[in-house]
Amino acid sequence: PVAMPELPEVETVCRGLHSRMAGRVLRLVEVRRRDLRQAMPADFAQRVQGRTILRIDRRAKYMQWHLDDQTVVLGHLGMSGSMCIQSEPLPTPKTHDHVRFQLSDGGAVVYNDPRRFGLLLLTTQAQLGKHPLLKKLGPEPLEPSFTAERLRDQLQSRRVPIKAALLDQAVVAGLGNIYVCEALYRAHISPLRVAASLTLAEAKRLQPAIVAILEAAIAAGGSTLRDYVKADGELGYFQHAFAVYDQEDRSCPTPGCKGHIHRLTQTGRSTYYCPRCQK
């Protein structure tokens, strides 16, 4: 399967970049190709070159590089993008190296994206929450404000299958296909259920399941399903812990359940679940 990086993958990349780039100056910024999913600003290099990176964090599946002049680089890895950390100065560019950052300590970071579905845009600290890509996002699932009550409230008006509702970034920010499948399985909730039918008791199973799955995936460095690699070039390995995702026809791992994992298509995406123990 080919998967877009989801919250754990982006969180892992942001942590890796932050540890390597925070406090460093962007000495040289080389834009080799601007025509990504959205065209990069024509003055991207001149606006960020010479600036110090204060911190790098994440909102949903977006990277946020906070610079010392209140500029924010807003990035997305798309389907195949990667941010690769180099300990040496910039090497000879590879075919799909679209943006290259030389750091003040001699290292470098290279944005490589064969399919060019990613993006690198500029905004400001003051405008960040109002940015068109961010302003409609729902709660962050790893923040304390994401409670079972809030999850149920977010779903109460949704007359679509709960799997589709959870993929809606306005409901919960950052969730993607893999982790929604895994969380619904862990909470024993069918992906076919109408979202609005979720009870508070069920939300109290689902909300901690979402958090636990995301935290476990971050600890494992994310899931590698072909293109995704961490910022240090290592592959994540949470895919070895999948209970249902990509496990079609295998026995359900729930103790005592004699069901098998089924696959169906919902809103164009593969859904994996156990129809016997997910109700």
Distance CA 177, CA 188 (A): 17
Instruction: Reduce the DSSP state of residue 25 to 3 states and report it.
Output: strand
Q: Name the active-site residue from 5, 8, 161, 191.
A: 5
Q: Name the active-site residue from 20, 59, 61, 193.
A: 61
Q: Name the active-site residue from 6, 9, 11, 202.
A: 6
208 in active site: no
269 in active site: yes
Please, which residues bridge with residue 101 across strands? 29, 109
61 in active site: yes
Q: Name the active-site residue from 15, 24, 27, 269.
A: 269
Inter-CA distances, 211 with 150, 184, 205, 270, Å: 14, 12, 11, 22
Six token digits for residue 230: 């961490």
Distance CA 70, CA 102 (A): 20
| Biggest CA pair distance of the chain | 61
Distance CA 179, CA 177 (A): 6
Distance CA 71, CA 53 (A): 10
CB 52 within 8 A of CB 270: no
258 in active site: no
Q: Which residues does the annotation mark as catalytic?
A: 5-6, 61, 269
